[in-house]
Structure 1
Amino acid sequence: MTDKNSKNEKLCLSSNYLCTAEFEVGGGLIGIGQSPFGDQRMGYITGGRISGPRISGKILPGGGNWTRGGRLGNDASVGTFDARAVWETDDGDLIYLTYNGRNVIPDDVRAAFVDPAKPYVDPSRYYLRIAPVFETASEKYSWLNGVLAVGVGERTDFGVRHIIHEIR
């Protein structure tokens, strides 16, 4: 039994802080509507900024996040993410990223959460997680091609901020 436990310990996950990504979503969300597959919406990325110890730059306009929402029990909404964006590093390299994710927003915080004009909503009151992967032709940032990351997000007055960690 001890041998099996030591093997499991070797398979544990750890993470390192990668960056903070601040996605600007100008124009808000476009409500596509309720279909048999859920309530579909789309948010257009109008810009933003990334900053971290090994990577910094801007988020280019033109990406987006296609979300689908539904209910989780009687007191919360649940949603999925399907997002794509392009980052341009401060030294001019391009990085394509995609991410999926989940959110769970209790009904008592939903009205404030969906309205960026509302006051700050404490991120401990909702769940917003993403799993980004990266693709780049850059030699300097080629290490990103092998990275799976996770991010913890919060709604902001300009869109969303994700604190992203590289999974080791």
Structure 2
Amino acid sequence: MSEFEFGDRALVGRPLCVARFEVGGIMDLGASAWTTRRIGYITGGRFEGPRLKGEILPGGGNWSTAGVGADGAAVGTFDARCIWKTDDGAMIYVTYTGRTWVPPDVGAAFRDPAQPHVDVSRYRLRIAPVFETSDKRYDWLNAVLAVGMGERLSDGVRHHIFEVV
């Protein structure tokens, strides 16, 4: 067995939900001595999946940092926190970190209002969410580690989130 094998198991994920985050104004704090930082305020949204659906409450946010990789692409990190409320009333605290990779031509397209959509295969938004709830109906979420792949929208982002099983 090599160092990358784990017995007869492979990393497997199953669909958890698709979360559409609506983001209000983004505050650009500019470049400090360490990084360029931006803060995006979550104004709402919705998540839907086979075992989990509801609304993303306003008030959370994403504290992101950015830099430039050796290939000239914008690279960055996510540091997000928000509250989800299921359709049956459970409250779920969601946090996630993540990474972005956006080549220069895609960054230019993102800033061009004439190009509302950029093919998701041309950039990467990846997250690793974790969940916390006191609601016994959703206690199983407290043990979930998930991964997500994101897509930039004109007013936010949509993440396709998978539970690592």
Q: TM-score, normalised by structure 2?
A: 0.94
**How far apart are the structure 1 equivalents of 2:39 and 2:122?**
23
**How far apart are the structure 2 equivalents of 1:14 and 1:138?**
26
Aligned residues: 163
Preserved CA contact (<8 Å) 1:116 1:159:
no
Q: 1:36 to 1:19 in 2, by over 3 A?
A: same
Q: 1:117 to 1:44 in 2, by over 3 A?
A: farther
**How far apart are the structure 1 equivalents of 2:107 and 2:83?**
29
Q: Which residue of 2 aligns with 1:16?
A: 14
Is 1:78 aligned with 2:75? yes
RMSD across aligned positions (CA) = 1.5
Alignment of 1:19-168 (within 5 A): 19-27=17-25, 29-114=26-111, 118-168=115-165
| CA shift for structure 1 position 37 | 1.6
**How far apart are the structure 2 equivalents of 1:117 and 1:9?**
51
**How far apart are the structure 2 equivalents of 1:49 and 1:158?**
13
Q: 1:36 to 1:150 in 2, by over 3 A?
A: same
**Between 114-123 and 143-152, the greater mean CA deviation after superposition:** 114-123
Gaps spanning 5+ residues in structure 1: where? none
**What amino acid is the match of 2:75?**
V
| CA shift for structure 1 position 9 | 4.0
Identity %, equivalent residues: 57
